Structure 1
Amino acid sequence: MSLILAIDQGTTSTRAIAFEVGANAASGETGDLRPVAVSQIELAQHFPRSGWVEHDAAEIWTATLQTCREVVRKAGGVARFAAIGITNQRETAVIWDAGTGQPLHRA
């Protein structure tokens, strides 16, 4: 069976889930997706002023890599995956230094 890697990068944590794709999923039926491996890492939140929340962009990236690698390992290797789906915070922005690739400020 093929697997889908779902990456959920949210406000409080980063999560990766491997879903097994059943026979009916190809026809658009989502009921045949079964989770087979999960990894989640909580993220530190920073509150520079009332109503604001910031995150360390490097921490987000590290958590994403770590959760994905763990799920791929638990699920039997990268060759089992047919697709990746990503959901994120949408309103979050990061400014990167073009020369170093490092974030200039928190997200």
Structure 2
Amino acid sequence: MREFGKFGPLIGAIDEGTSNVKFLVFAANTSEVLTYHQIILKRFSPREGWVEQDALEILSAVLECIEETIDNLRKLDIDPGDVVGIGITNQRETTIFGWMSEHLRLLMI
């Protein structure tokens, strides 16, 4: 059986909302948030009543948040290998359409 560090097993959480992206790591035994990173997302309004976001910006922000949070764990002398699971919250059933290579791609995020 694996031995964990002083905080025991850790849980990661990706929180991808309409205004920002966060990745948090907390201690599973105490629910204490140990570290996180957050990035504010841009929103565009091409017409009144419309709101759009760049899918690649969202993906990039999620990856950057994970990387920065892992770096923060290391700076706190916490082993990122203690993360035993990751949960995801997002904008519900958001469908993202992207035009690439003359084909319409459907990505579910």
Q: Percent identity?
A: 36
Q: Which residues in structure 2 correspond to 1:29-40 (within 5 Å)?
A: 32-40=30-38
What's the counterpart of residue 78 of structure 1? 80
What's the counterpart of residue 44 of structure 2? 46
Q: State the shift of 1:63 in Å.
A: 0.3
What's the counterpart of residue 26 of structure 1? none
Of 2, 24, 35, 1:17 maps to 24
Q: State the shift of 1:78 in Å.
A: 3.1
TM-score calculated relative to the size of structure 1:
0.76
In angstroms, what is the RMSD of aligned CA positions?
2.5
C-alpha separation between the residues in 1 aligned to 2:105 and 2:44?
16
Describe the shift of the 1:41–1:95 C-alpha distance in structure 2 as closer, same or farther (beyond 3 A): same
Q: Which runs of 5+ in 1 are unaligned?
A: 23-31
Instruction: Determine which structure has the larger helix proportion and give its number.
Output: 1
Q: RCO greater where, 1 or 2, for CA within 8 Å and sep 6 or more?
A: 1
TM-score calculated relative to the size of structure 2:
0.75
Aligned residues: 94
- What letter matches 1:38 in structure 2? Y
What's the counterpart of residue 97 of structure 2? 95
- What letter matches 1:44 in structure 2? K
Q: C-alpha deviations, 1:31-69, integer Å up to 9, x for none? A: x21100010000110012222211001100100000011
C-alpha separation between the residues in 2 aligned to 1:83 and 1:98?
33
